Amino acid sequence: MITLADALAQGRKRIANVSRSASLDAQLLMAKVLGVDRVYVLAHGERELSEAELARFIVLVERAAKGEPLAYILGKRAFYKGEFIVTPDVLIPRPETELLVEKALAWINEQCDRPFRAIDIGTGSGAIAVSVAMDAPASVEVHASEVSLPALEIAKQNATLHGVADRMTFWHGDLLTPVIEHGLKFDLIMANLPYIPHEVIDGLDVKVRDFEPDVALDGGGDGLDLVRRLIAQIPSVCDKGACILLEIGADQGAAALETVQTLHPTFATVHKDYAGLDRTVEARL
């Protein structure tokens, strides 16, 4: 028999080379194995593990040691005000993307509860769309589109998990194409599209390069290929007064701002994230 504390120590040592938070990661993996929270794990170091529990823990630790992101092993990731289901079919939500949600909700609050439609393009796990639906007034109709069917299913699961599925509409297809085909108009466009330049992909951290879906990472030559395609579609679904919010890479502010100028916005700016890096382009038509 081995105690929980001893197993944690071994797990921490095994993943120390691939994680800057090896102790925390080992605790979370143990919590998953035991079906408890991290507080329990910290408070019961003397607890003896069964052979089956230890075997399950070792399997998870070995996955982590090979570089697999913790979010995929745990099957969830905290984002904004909720916890979201994640699988290798979707990009893992990042804290910096919460800025886009905050800007979207700030714009929504300026609208004085008038009815309107918002859509999240390339929704992935649904983190942006679901988070907005959770905090927006009931008068806001939230849509989400995604080219990957497996990812779209995860987004639907997250909408159900957070109790907003009845307020959301999901579309399978490329960017705005499915809603253009249905003749819909939108007041708010949100998108965190792939924006990593193609030539940079091979140099990414192994946890990103080898485990997260390439379709959610590769933004083409300069990283803005999909953004340009989306911008070209926006006049078909947006009228005067609409708001566009796009997440971008830290070095793409000037290029992205130039791209949105083709929409002839009345206002356009780049918002910096909490690290002081360019992160979200906002344009108002």
Contact (Cβ atoms closer than 8 angstroms) between residue 211 and residue 72? yes
Contact (Cβ atoms closer than 8 angstroms) between residue 148 and residue 172? no
Contact (Cβ atoms closer than 8 angstroms) between residue 124 and residue 91? yes
Task: Look up residue 275 and give its two tokens.
Answer: 């690290």
Contact (Cβ atoms closer than 8 angstroms) between residue 8 and residue 42? no
pLDDT of residue 218: 83
CA distance 19 to 74: 15
Please give the DSSP secondary-structure letter assigned to residue 18. Answer: T
pLDDT of residue 210: 87
Helix residue ranges per DSSP H, the chain: 4-15, 22-34, 38-43, 51-65, 70-74, 98-109, 127-135, 149-161, 177-181, 206-209, 225-233, 253-260
- Name the one residue in this structure whose structure tokens are 């926006």: 234
Instruction: Express each pLDDT in 188-242 by its tens digit.
Output: 999 999 999 998 888 888 888 988 998 888 889 999 999 999 999 999 999 999 9
pLDDT of residue 277: 95
Mean pLDDT computed over 145-166 = 98
DSSP helix/strand/coil, 77 = strand
Contact (Cβ atoms closer than 8 angstroms) between residue 184 and residue 236? no
Instruction: Express each pLDDT in 23-65 by its tens digit.
Output: 999 999 999 999 999 999 999 999 999 999 999 999 999 999 9
pLDDT of residue 12: 96
Mean pLDDT computed over 72-83 = 97
Instruction: Express each pLDDT in 100-141 by its tens digit.
Output: 999 999 999 998 777 889 999 999 999 999 999 999 999 999
Domain definitions of the chain by residue range = 2-66, 87-284
Confidence of residue 1 (pLDDT cuts 50, 70, 90): confident
Mean pLDDT computed over 262-279 = 95
- Name the one residue in this structure whose structure tokens are 């942006």: 128
- What is 2-66's CATH topology? Helicase, Ruva Protein; domain 3 (1.10.8)
- Nearest in space to 268 (alpha carbons), one of 236, 234, 225: 234
The domain 87-284 having CATH identifier 3.40.50.150: the answer here is yes
